[in-house]
Structure formats: structure tokens, C-alpha cells
Amino acid sequence: MEAEVTQRTQELWLYKQIMHDTGEGIIVTDPTGVILEVNPAFAHLTGYHPEDLVGAPVSLLISNREPPNYYRRLLINLRKTSRWEGEFWISRKDGSSAPTWLTIDSIRDLEGRVQRYIGFFVDISKLKIAEESLHKLAFFDPLTELPNRSLFMDRISHALSRAQRTQSRLALLYLDLDHFKDVNDAYGHQVGDQLLIETARRLLSQVRDVDTVCRLGGDEFTIILESITQSSDASLVAKKIVDSLRPSFFIHGQEIYAPASVGIALYPYDGKTVDELVKNADAAMYEAKDAGRGQFRFASGAAGKSSKHRLEMEALLRRALKKDKFVINFQPQVSTGSAIFGSNRGLVGAEALIRMGDKDERILPPDRFIEIAEDTGLIVPMGEWMLFQACAEANRWAETGRPIPVAVNVSQRQFEKGVVVQQTEAALAASGLKPELLKLEITESLFMRDLQRSVKVMQALKEMGVSFAIDDFGTGYSSLRYLDSLPIDILKIDKSFIDRISSNQENGAVAMAVVSLARSFGLISIAEG
């Protein structure tokens, strides 16, 4: 009897120590939700004193961040499975709320009746801040705070869908500052950056709250005008914008003139897809420049020019495939020393980058032809060619005593058509390359469309011994929860976060957040430069 009492006393002491010392917030309630006990970590998380909580209803901790049915579903699942786990915004004493990861377990007696509920709270505020920072830098231009190219593509896609559904009109304005390069060259990038900020302010002052103003990059801006009734609505806005940018800017003691040329494409007349509207508005903008700058032009004739360019580029792509006019450049991947690569500093991998020779034997970079290759489906045979050539070259390196892993980009079309597994298997077999020396790079948008299918394809490739990297991490629609679902090995930090990292504190913070995130998931991080 005495031994039993001693044992129970020790167990109670151990329970109290765990409750007191753990960093997780712990709460114990009775079956009706009355709080019976909390630990110091929970009191610290909520700002309450333990005596303020004991005896109070657990509803005291519910914030208004979630709708009531969210908590009803929580209770239903808890009663059904005896356990619930998920994100939970907890209400604090000062009226604020904090994001936590909550796990609730049911404690039942021998007859199966619930006696206690125990909740374990982990503060995920820092993770949320990192995720929000990634989202902001992924979808908003850090200089002007306008939506960037990624968010523009999302906004115009949704706007186009609404226009198609409601049979309404839509206008896309494509704007480029005239002689912006001269301003940068004459006064420096600091003045140029401030000019872009002031330009963004003037643009916003000329449109409705429902309109979307974006900065695509450099001195290029777009404005999405929804639910216009006639083309004159778009021309009225374009005239207001052109007129608003004619007056000079006073920046750092300098008087600067920065008029703009604007191109206008209308849905459905100048295009029925995002690509068609963007290309035709862009072409119309160049017509405005050719006409003397500081004015606007509609996409009259722009569609023909765009179609001609696309047809010519498609013909070049088919010729390059037929006559082997593609070439591969290898970009080195260098380690600065890490837990994964040890103290080794130097070459640890190479990324295969495709280039194409045109009819004049000039080498064209991928941004000139990749989009058209994807639209026409030619990206599939191009991707296969890339795999075969990169594997063959990497195997030649290995045979000379330099087994350097090679990374190859895989397109969404290769995944959708289900050919990437067969292409990879054939490329490895033909080259003799060991699978562990091949890395396949995918973008976030690839797996977001059909996560289950993507994971299935990736698992098949992983079973071969191939590894995976997420390219341009943070610029797409990523969510941290997907990282745990995907069989990936590497996160590549997008170049936009690395550029100006020494002069932009926010870029540096995001880069460090991605590196920390990669470490927490046991992944390698690569910074693109």
C-alpha cells in the first residue's frame, strides 16, 4: 500500500513538473468546458493569471477570427474521434488574438465516458509572420507596394472569368514611362526608384477603388478596368493617366519629366485570353511610343502583329527541334559549407538551362520562347530533349571522376500529360547516369493545380532515386502546409529575394526565413543569383 502511494506521489510530482516546465501551453477542462487547470506557458500565452482562468468557461478563449460553425465542427469532430488538431486563434486578456496550433485529446474512463479534455497550444506567431512576409514579397512589389506580376496574372484571370460569366467588357491598360532609363542614368537609381513610387501614387489617384493597378517590373505598369460599358470609358481613363503624368516631378531637388505611353486592349475584341490581352496591350503601347510618346493607343492592328510574332516563334521552335538548334548552358551551384555538404566549399551541382539558336544563328534566352512553347505544347518534346542531353552530359562528368548532380526544369505540361516518368526513366537508361545525380525542378504552380496527382507522379520518380527542388519558392501560391505533403529535397529561394539583399532588410529577413523553414523540414536551400 505504501509503495503504491509512493508511486502515485511520484507520478503526480512528474505530472506537475511537466505541466510547469514545458514550453507548450496546456489547459485541462471538464466535459462541459469549464477550465480546471492551466500551466505557466498557457498563462503567458494568453496574458491571464492562472487563477483568472480556473473555473471560467473555455469559451472565454474563443476569438472572433473564425465563424461560429468553425467551432461547431471542431466539437463534432472531437466527440466523434476523441481528438482534434488544427490552427486556432486564441483570445488574449488584452483583447488581441494569437495564432496557435492546437491539439485536443479526450481522457475517458474505463466505461468510455469523457472525464477531461486536454489542450496543447503551440504559438505559431513567428511562422505566421514569415508566411505573411513571403506572401507580401511574392505578390506585391516591395518598392511601390502595388500588386506585382504574379498577383496581376491572378487578378486579370479572375477579372476575365467574371467578364466571360457576366458577358461584360474589360479593358487592360499597359503603361511604360518614356525615357525612364535616361532618368536612372542621369540621376541614379535612388531618384529612379522614387520616381516609380510617385508614378504609382498618381496612377492610383486616377482610377476607381475597384480597378487594379500593378507594377510588372522596371517602369512597366498595368491597369485592369472591369465592367466598362464602352471603349470610350477606357480612353477616358487612359487620357486622365497620360495627363496626370505630364506635369513634372520634384525629387531630391531635381525637376523630372516622365510622361508615359499607354496601350489599351479590350475584351473580347482584342483577345479572349489573358495572354492575348497582355500581348496586344503591350503591342499597342509600343505603337503609342512610335507615334510620338506621351499618348495612348488602342490595340488596332496589334492582334495581327502579335499573331505574326507567335507564328514566327512557333516555326523557330519546330525548326530548332527538328534540326537540333537548342543548346544547354550549365549554371554552377556552389556550396559555402553546410551541415549537408560538410566543410566542402565549391561546386556541388549544376542547373541545365536551355537556349535556342534563331534563323540568324543568334542564341535566344528562354524568356523569348518558353511561353509560346508551353502554349503550343512544344515544351513537352523540348523537356524530353533537355532531360536526355543533361543526363548524358552529367554522365560524362561522372565518367571523368566528377560526379556532379545536374538539375533539370520540368514543365507543367510534362506532368499533365503524364510523360515525365517515362521520359526520365528513358533518359537515365540511355545515358547510364545514376538517378541520385539527377534533380528535377518544379514550380509551386505545378502541384497547386492537382496536389494528389502531382504527389503520385513525384513518388514514382522518387522511387527511381531522383530528387526534387521547388524552383522560385515564394513567388507562387505556396502554403507552408504543402511542404509536408510533397516529397521534395530542396527549396530554391527566388532571385527577387536575393537581389539587393544587402540593402533591403525585408529581403534579407525573408531569405533567412526560407532558409530556416528549409532546415525545419530537413531540406536543402539554394539561393538563386
**Tens of pLDDT, residues 251-284:** 988 889 889 999 999 888 888 899 999 999 999 9
Give the chain's mean pLDDT: 85
Average pLDDT over residues 426-439: 96
Q: What is the DSSP string of 383-445?
A: HHHHHHHHHHHHHHHHHTT----EEEE--HHHHHTT-HHHHHHHHHHHH---GGGEEEEEEHH
The pLDDT value recorded for residue 477 is 46
Please identify which residue in the block is written with the cell numbers 559555402: 336
Banded pLDDT at 415 (limits 50, 70, 90): confident
Asked if residue 515 has pLDDT above 70, the reply is yes
Would you state the pLDDT for residue 302? 45
Verify cis geometry, omega within 30 degrees of 0, for the bond prior to 268: yes
Domains of the chain: 18-123 (3.30.450.20), 141-300 (3.30.70.270), 309-527 (3.20.20.450)
Query: Do the Cβ atoms of 188 and 134 come closer than 8 Å?
Result: no
Distance CA 121, CA 100 (A): 6
What tens digit of pLDDT does each residue of 283-341 get? 999 989 888 889 999 886 544 455 456 667 878 888 899 888 899 999 998 887 655 54
Pairwise pLDDT comparison (4 vs 243), residue with the higher score: 243
Residue 250 has pLDDT above 80, yes or no: yes
DSSP 24: S
* pLDDT range class, residue 8, cuts 50, 70, 90: low
The string of pLDDT tens digits covering residues 496-514 is 667 666 666 666 677 777 7
Q: What are phi and psi of 105, to 5 degrees?
A: -120, 145
CA atoms within 13 A on the CB side of 496: 21
Answer whether 231's CB lies under 8 Å from 266's CB.
yes
Of 62, 172, 527, the C-alpha closest to 333 is 527
Which residues make Cβ contacts (< 8 Å) with residue 250, sequence separation at least 6? 256
| Residue-level pLDDT at 184 | 86
178 within 8 A of 259, measured Cβ to Cβ: yes
Residue 367 above 50 pLDDT? yes
Q: pLDDT tens digits, residue range 160-183? A: 999 988 878 899 999 999 989 888
Convert the pLDDT of each residue in 31-83 to its tens digit. Answer: 999 999 999 999 999 999 989 999 999 989 988 888 888 888 898 888 889 99
What is the per-residue DSSP string for 295-320? SEEE-TTHHHHHHHHHHHHHHHHHHH
Residue 355 has a pLDDT of 92
Q: List the one residue out of 464, 458, 465, 510 whose CA is nearest residue 488.
A: 458
| Stretch 203-224: mean pLDDT | 94
pLDDT value for 480? 60
